[in-house]
């Protein structure tokens, strides 16, 4: 199996390449680790490769906040410098600046 290094890191703010949402990364899977049902729900032409990092995001768009699971090929660095206002950000991170987010210590 090919070993890949994740392009993005925990705490980094990213946006989706095709869909209008952005988010902050709170976990990374080195390869696809979601359900077959999730993967099979995508149209074949949009189905990403399993053999790449997948990111768990505290995601938001203009209407709502949610948790997203996104392949590396579909992410870009968010250059807006705007903080992510997802209501769970404070559960994972304690301090933010324009480009760096500090993980909250776990008890």
pLDDT on residue 42: 87
Per-residue pLDDT of the chain (107 residues; tens, 9 = 90+): 566 789 999 999 999 999 999 999 999 999 999 999 988 898 888 889 889 999 999 999 999 999 999 999 999 999 998 889 999 998 888 755 554 556 665 55
pLDDT on residue 94: 76
In order of their start, the domains of the chain are 13-103 (2.30.30)
| DSSP codes joined into one string, the chain | ------SS-TT-EEEESSSS-EEEEEEEESS--S-HHHHHTS-GGGPPPSSS-EEEEEEE-SS-EEEEEEEGGGEEE--S-PPP--TTHHHHEEEE-SS-EEEPPP-
pLDDT on residue 106: 56
């Amino acid at each position: 199996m090919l070993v890949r290094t994740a392009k993005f890191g925990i705490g980094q703010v990213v946006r989706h390449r095709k869909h209008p949402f952005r988010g902050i990364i709170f976990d990374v899977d080195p390869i696809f680790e979601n359900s077959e049902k999730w993967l099979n729900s995508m149209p074949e032409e949009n189905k990403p490769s399993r053999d790449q990092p997948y990111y768990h995001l505290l995601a938001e768009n203009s209407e709502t906040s949610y948790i997203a699971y996104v392949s590396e090929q579909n992410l870009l660095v968010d250059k807006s410098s705007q903080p992510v206002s997802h209501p769970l950000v404070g559960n994972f991170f304690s301090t933010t600046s324009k480009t760096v987010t500090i993980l909250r210590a776990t008890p």
